[in-house]
């Protein structure tokens, strides 16, 4: 159901706006609302992150577009985005991966749940990996300003000397050992490319 009142009026003035499910503290759907309204009101909702590795095990980092409202031009995980209303987590991950990097995921692995907090932008985040791919990421210029592959040592260097050009989510995942193959995360889920 689309929430009534101001969000419905906003939607009428902004056709084509991205609709997401607002969820409760236990990640249960409550209503469907436009994403900008959800962000403005700091309501709980869902997002996905997708980690992509090359055959050598290096992680692809995207550089967010300079026109993004949140963390413009910062380096981030391979692909990310919001789960649209009525969309499964897996379908959202596949859609974002294709929209942002022109990669079609044959399989998604290593689901990791990150609870919604102010630090996640009130998003329940699900992290996936597609493992090692031979496809060359082709960043969508409407969404990204570029990208690069990094190994764990290069990531350590970026965290140590250039943390201000990285998204907090990327830093959070790295600090918890959740980015690179063979690393054990706090939930006991082994991420393997």
pLDDT over 80 at 161, yes or no: yes
DSSP annotation string for 167-190 = -HHHHHHHHTT-SSTTPBPTTSPB
DSSP secondary structure string, 57-120? -PEEEEEEPTT-SSSTT-EE-SEEEEPBTT--HHHHHHHHHHHHH----S--EEEEEE---GGG
The per-residue pLDDT for 190 is 42
Q: Indicate the burial class of 65 (C-beta count within 10 angstroms; 0-12, 13-18, 19 or more).
A: middle
Class of domain 46-175: alpha beta
With 50 as the cut, is the pLDDT of residue 60 above it? Answer: yes
pLDDT tens per residue across span 101-128: 999 988 899 778 999 998 888 999 999 9
End-to-end CA, the chain:
38
- HSE (CB half, 13 Å, CA atoms) of 107? 7
Q: What is the DSSP letter of 2?
A: B
pLDDT at 191 over 80: no
Q: Where are the domains of the chain?
A: 1-43, 46-175
The residue among 105, 115, 97 whose CA lies nearest residue 27 is 115
Q: 188: which 2 tokens?
A: 């006991």
The pLDDT, as a whole number, for residue 181 is: 64
Other beta carbons within 10 Å of 119? 12
Q: Between these two residues, 135 and 5, which has the higher pLDDT value? A: 135
| pTM score, whole prediction | 0.86
- Say what the pLDDT of residue 193 is: 44
Instruction: Determine the average pLDDT of the residues in 16-22.
Output: 90
Position 27 pLDDT exceeds 50: yes
Q: Is 24 helix (H, G, I), strand (E, B) or coil?
A: coil
- Cα distance between residue 86 and residue 71, in whole Å: 27
So what's the pLDDT on residue 11? 55
């Amino acid at each position: 159901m689309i929430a009534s009142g101001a969000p419905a009026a906003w939607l009428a003035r902004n056709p084509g706006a991205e609709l997401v499910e607002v969820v409760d503290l236990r990640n249960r759907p409550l209503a469907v609302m436009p994403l900008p309204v959800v962000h403005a009101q700091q309501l709980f909702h869902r997002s996905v992150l997708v980690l992509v590795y090359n055959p050598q095990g290096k992680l692809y980092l995207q550089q967010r577009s300079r026109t993004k409202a949140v963390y413009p031009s910062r380096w981030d995980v391979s692909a990310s985005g919001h789960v649209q209303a009525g969309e499964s987590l897996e379908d959202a991950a596949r859609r974002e991966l294709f929209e942002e990097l022109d990669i079609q995921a044959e399989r998604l692995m290593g689901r990791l749940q990150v609870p919604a907090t102010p630090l996640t932008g009130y998003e329940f985040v699900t992290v996936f990996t597609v493992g090692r791919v031979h496809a060359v990421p082709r960043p969508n210029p409407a969404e990204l300003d570029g990208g690069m592959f990094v190994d764990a040592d290069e990531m350590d260097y970026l965290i140590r000397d250039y943390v201000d050009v990285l998204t907090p989510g990327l830093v959070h995942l790295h600090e918890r050992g959740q980015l690179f193959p063979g690393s054990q995360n706090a939930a006991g889920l082994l991420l393997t490319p």
